[in-house]
Structure 1
Amino acid sequence: MSVLRGLVEGIRNGGIEVIDLTAPLSEKTPILQLPEPFGNTVPFTLKEISRYDDRGPAWYWNDISTGEHTGTHFDAPVHWVTGRDGEDVSQVPVGRLIAPAVVLDLAAEAGKDPDFLLRVEHVEAWQETHGPLPEGGWLLYRTGWDAYADDPERFLNADGTGPHTPGISAECARWLAEETPIAGVGVETVGTDAGAAHGFDPAFPCHSFLLGAGKYGLTQLRNLDRLPATGAVVVAPPLPILGGSGSPVRVLALVER
Structure 2
Amino acid sequence: MGEHFGTHFDAPIHWVTGKDHKNNTVDTIPPAHFIAGACVIDASAEVAKNPDFVLTSEYIQNWEKEHGDLEKGAWVLFRTDWHKRPFDGSFLNVGEDGLNHTPGPNKEAVEYMISKDVLGFGVETINTDAGMSFTWEMQLPCHTLMHGAGKYGLQCLANLDQLPPKGATIVAAPLKIEEGSGSPLRVFAIV
Q: TM-score range by the shorter chain?
A: over 0.9
Q: Deviations over 1:30-76 (max 9, x none)?
A: xxxxxxxxxxxxxxxxxxxxxxxxxxxxxxxxxxxx11000000000
- How far did residue 174 of structure 1 move? 2.2
- Does 2:145 align with 1:212? no
CA distance in 2, matches of 1:151, 1:100: 28
Structure holding more strand per residue: 1
Matching residue within 3, 19, 37 for 1:84: 19
Counterpart of 2:40 in structure 1 is: 103
Correspondences of 1:88-167 after superposition (within 5 Å): 88-148=25-85, 150-161=86-97, 162-167=99-104
Stretches of structure 1 lacking an aligned partner (at least 5 in a row): 1-65
Q: Secondary structure at the match of 2:143?
A: helix
CA contact (8 A) 1:74 1:217 kept: yes
CA–CA separation in structure 1 for the residues paired with 2:17 and 2:96: 29
Partner of 1:185: 121
1:191 positional shift: 1.2
Partner of 1:34: none
Distance of 1:171 and 1:181 partners within structure 2: 14
Letter of the 1:68 counterpart: E
Query: In the TM superposition, what is the alpha-carbon distance from 1:175 to its structure 2 partner?
Result: 2.2
Deviations, residues 90-145 of structure 1 (Å, cap 9, x unaligned): 11110010000011000000110010011001110111111111111100100111
Please list, as runs of the form range in 1=range in 2, the aligned pairs for 1:51-66 lying within 5 A after superposition.
Answer: 66=1
1:160 Cα deviation (Å)? 2.6
Identity %: 48
Of 172, 177, 181, the match for 2:109: 172
Aligned residue number for residue 164 of structure 2: 228
CA drift of 1:242 comes to 1.1
Q: How many residues align?
A: 188
Asked whether 1:245 is paired with 2:184, we answer: no
**Deviation of 1:240 (Å):** 1.0
Instruction: Tell me the amino acid that sits aligned with residue 20 of structure 2.
Output: D
Larger Rg: 1 or 2?
1
Once the 2 structures are TM-superposed, how far is the Cα of residue 151 of structure 1 from its aligned partner? 3.2
Cα pair 1:90 1:240 within 8 Å, conserved: yes
Runs of 4+ in 1 over 6 A off after TM superposition: none
Q: Distance in 1 between matches of 2:71 and 2:95?
A: 37
| Unaligned runs of at least 5 residues, structure 2 | none
Is this contact kept in 2: 1:74–1:218, CA < 8 A? yes
132, 138, 147: which one pairs with 1:196?
Answer: 132
- Give the distance between the partners of 1:246 and 1:182, measured in 2 at CA: 19
C-alpha root-mean-square deviation of aligned residues, in Å? 0.9
Aligned equivalents of 1:138, 1:207: Cα separation in 2? 15
Structure ranking higher on relative contact order (CA contacts 8 Å, 6+ apart): 2
Aligned partner of residue 88 in structure 1, secondary structure: coil
The question of 1:71 aligning with 2:2 is answered: no
